[in-house]
Amino acid sequence: MKGMNVSDTFWTLILAVFISVMIILGIFIWLQIHLPFFSTADPVSYSIEFVHVVNKPFMVTEVLAHVRFDDRSVLEQSIETAVTSPENASTTSLPRYLSDYLNAYDLREYQVSIKNGNNALMSFGSTKAKCGDNLDNPEGWCVSRFSFPSGVTSSCGTGRAQINPTQLTCDVTQRCCKEDRTASTGNTIVSCGPSGQGVCSEGERPFYSWAYEKIWGTTWKYTCEENRVDLGNPPECKAANGGNTRACCAPQTAENEVDAGLAVKSVVPLQYKQTTATLEVTAR
Amino acid sequence: MKNRKEILGLKFRPQNFSRKGVGTAVGTILIIAIFTAFFAVYLYMANNNIESRTKLNFESLSLMKLKSTFLLFNQSLGTTWLISTVQAVFITGDESVGCGKDDSRLSEGYWYQRRPDAARDGQTDSRGNPRIPAADKYNIPGFNPQICYPRDQHVKEYILKILDERDFLRLRQLRPEEAGGITIIIQRDVNDNEKVGATINMNLKDDRIESTFSQKITASYGNGVGVIDRQTANDNTIFTSLKQMAAAGRSVVESLSVFGDGRTGGPGPPPDPIGYGVQNQPSNTAYQSVYKDLIESTIRAASSPIPGGNIAIVTTTGLEANTGQTAGVIQLPRSGLVFHFVSMVTYSEPARYYYHNVAENKFEKKPIELTYKVEDYLPALSCVEYQEPAFPSGIALMNWQSPDDMMCCAGFLFSCGSSINSLPSTNQIATGGSMVNSGSGDDQSTCLNTLGGRGVQCTAAGFMIS
């Protein structure tokens, strides 16, 4: 130190400021990502994910529109199903074919429906995170017993019940949870969401959230249990069950995901004579 | 050794600031301020960039949705046209290319039909009109036989007619919720707002039918913010040998019309195998069977090679005494037998496409077929043709149900102990009975007069002439 001159001091300062800025920047970004008062979503990842999410169902539909199963294209089978029924159009094996086909793609979730108005003539989806005894339409979702950073979860959440299927089971680290508003969890069932599709549930929050609330004086955002559609923390849930069920959670169906803005639905009109139906594909 | 403050350049002296220390401190503060300003600008720009990207993404969402929905709908519409064209081809084949349906000069489904009450025309009628129409679908009204002769152009026209008249073009305008919020409008037909204004080009080839549907589609969202307005074309190919089937059917019509020419119902030998056949068959059933085989082999030969690979012929035959209703076949009533046949010919190919069974509302896989009918009346036996010297007194014994139980005599037909359709009872002699000469000029008297006093008895062994 004895021989340090003005230039040494200057560069020491530069280094110190640089390190400080980096630390501030790092903290700022961390805060921006994690703390609710900065942003509820990560804009950067959102931006990247956005195009992907929007494109995916259309890409899947585009692929399906060119695929032939047995001796007809998917669109042919879809139109003929819409005009008659899966049995009368000899298309009862279409869901199985399409599931096998789509499972080859790395889709997190998908749902394919042929609808005539509100009447679903055929509907099937991904069974990747599903469980249950109904193999065509498994009734439950696999939910991790342990979740970071909230720790070990004790239940499926309010409005869901644990089931023990024998056909399509989850791995040992998961439990199978079925949406069931009649299930008793000790909490009162309170409907929530724009059309009452959700249930106020305990949700999940990290172990340090209580400290956050103490320091900042604001409430931590509760997120839904795994494989449920998070509809936020509406006022009706904050007041429900003594503030213990603040997360509004809806079943993870394609409709709920689309309503919540988590997924986009591709709708292809199917027409034949006076019949008009739709082929709807939701993919994430 | 310098203390901590000296190292940082902040040489603080409580009593007196040196000019150098102040300058260093100000410089440091300035550097921090500049870094902070840069950092703020960076954050501002980064956030702005993210915001603008997000806004752009929302625009992209709508545009991508519009573009993708438009393209997918166009593809779906192409499939609609494919299914519709397949149905139109099925119907065209099943309805015999509309023969007899779009014109009443023939019965429905007939390509060749003779009226038995009028004389048969040859290659041309008395006014020089051809039996086989030169370019029209039908020969002129009143021609006997009446012929439907659908050429490729007529097959194509009938498929287009089916598409137009059987609701295949009556696609409902879509509501936005049926297209994911996108407003899609297909241009309508100028004469019928219920129909899609599609231009259809069709090309019949030996092994396929190629079609192109062209229509204008407009897709938009957000009150015309994003609009796609395009003339789209959907090409489809249906693999069928309908063209060859129609050609085979026309060939059959030509063969059968020639086959019926010049028949008299007189005695054989060939080239009049009909009359010859009656004379030599053990019964009328056997005769009809032989004749049925003859007709069907003629149809098969004319159809060869069988288009699509399969042919099914269902022939019904009849043999009865001639009456006034069949005077065009054999002029003098009760003087012979008229052979009548109706053959339903069906060409079919391996099942590739699904047919919409409207009655049961089912789509079922079935072969594309072409079905048509041919009908003719031919003189099987004309007693007038059995004359001396080969047949003295015009008597010829033949078999109806058993040997010698049918007889031509003086140009009239008689039966013994058996019933011949349409033959008056006066010409049907019961077993053990005899002909009676009443002198009134009836058929029995004419026969006996020709025999010059000889009698005719009907025995268990047939007619006996004493």
Q: How far is A142 from chain B (nearest CA, A)?
A: 31
Please report the pLDDT score of residue A103 as a whole number. Answer: 81
Tell me if B50 and A76 make a contact (CB, 8 A cut-off).
no
The average confidence (pLDDT) of chain B is 88
CA geometry: angle at B132 spanning B126 and B137, to 5°? 115
Q: How far is B165 from chain A (nearest CA, A)?
A: 11
Please report the pLDDT score of residue A42 as a whole number. Answer: 47
Q: How confident is the model at residue B57 (pLDDT cuts 50, 70, 90)?
A: low
When CB atoms are compared, the residue of B8, B54, B83 closest to A13 is B8
Which residue out of A272, A279, A281 would a mutagenesis test of the B interface target, given it has the greatest number of B Cβ atoms within 10 Å? A272
Chain A residues 78-97 with a CB less than 8 Å from chain B: 79-80, 83-84, 88-90
Which of A42-46, A158-162, B40-44 bottoms out in mean pLDDT, i.e. has the lowest? Answer: A42-46
Contacts of B423 (CB under 8 A, 6+ apart): B320, B321, B334, B413, B415
Which of A235-244, B74-83, B290-299 bottoms out in mean pLDDT, i.e. has the lowest? Answer: A235-244
Is A42 an 8 Å CB contact of chain B? no
Q: How far is B23 from chain A (nearest CA, A)?
A: 12
Question: What are the pLDDT digits (tens) for B305-329?
Answer: 999 889 999 999 999 999 999 999 9
Taking contacts as CB-CB distances below 8 angstroms, the residues of chain B near A54 are 57, 60-61, 64-65
Neighbours of B445 (CB within 10 A): 16
Taking contacts as CB-CB distances below 8 angstroms, the residues of chain B near A2 are 1-2
Q: How far is B176 from chain A (nearest CA, A)?
A: 10
Please report the pLDDT score of residue B286 as a whole number. Answer: 86
Residue B432 pLDDT > 80: yes
CA distance B24 to B350: 96
Tell me if A6 and B9 make a contact (CB, 8 A cut-off).
yes
Residue of chain B nearest A58, judged by CA positions: B68
When CB atoms are compared, the residue of B61, B178, B364 closest to A269 is B178
Please report the pLDDT score of residue B222 as a whole number. Answer: 77
Residue B197 pLDDT > 70: yes
CA-nearest of A112, A147, A167 to A225 is A147
Of residues B463 and B282, more confidently modeled: B463
Please report the pLDDT score of residue B225 as a whole number. Answer: 73
Residue B460 pLDDT > 90: yes
Please report the pLDDT score of residue A155 as a whole number. Answer: 79
Tell me if B82 and A6 make a contact (CB, 8 A cut-off).
no
Tell me if A9 and B9 make a contact (CB, 8 A cut-off).
yes
Which residue out of B18, B31, B68 would a mutagenesis test of the A interface target, given it has the greatest number of A Cβ atoms within 10 Å? B68
Strand partners, A198: A192
Tokens representing A75 are: 């669109």
When CB atoms are compared, the residue of B64, B72, B363 closest to A90 is B363
When CB atoms are compared, the residue of B50, B73, B167 closest to A269 is B73
Tokens representing A220 are: 């931590």
Question: What are the pLDDT digits (tens) for B126-143?
Answer: 899 999 999 999 999 999
Mean pLDDT confidence for B64-68:
89
Residue B11 pLDDT > 50: no
CA distance B444 to B456: 9
Tell me if B83 and A79 make a contact (CB, 8 A cut-off).
yes
Q: How far is B244 from chain A (nearest CA, A)?
A: 24
Please report the pLDDT score of residue B268 as a whole number. Answer: 67
Is A48 an 8 Å CB contact of chain B? no
Q: How far is B179 from chain A (nearest CA, A)?
A: 5
Domain ranges in chain A are 6-38, 43-126+266-283, 139-252
When CB atoms are compared, the residue of A28, A75, A276 closest to B79 is A75
Residue B300 pLDDT > 80: yes
Strand partners, A205: none
Q: How confident is the model at residue B430 (pLDDT cuts 50, 70, 90)?
A: very high
Tokens representing B410 are: 């003086």
Specify the residue for token string 């739709």. Answer: A278
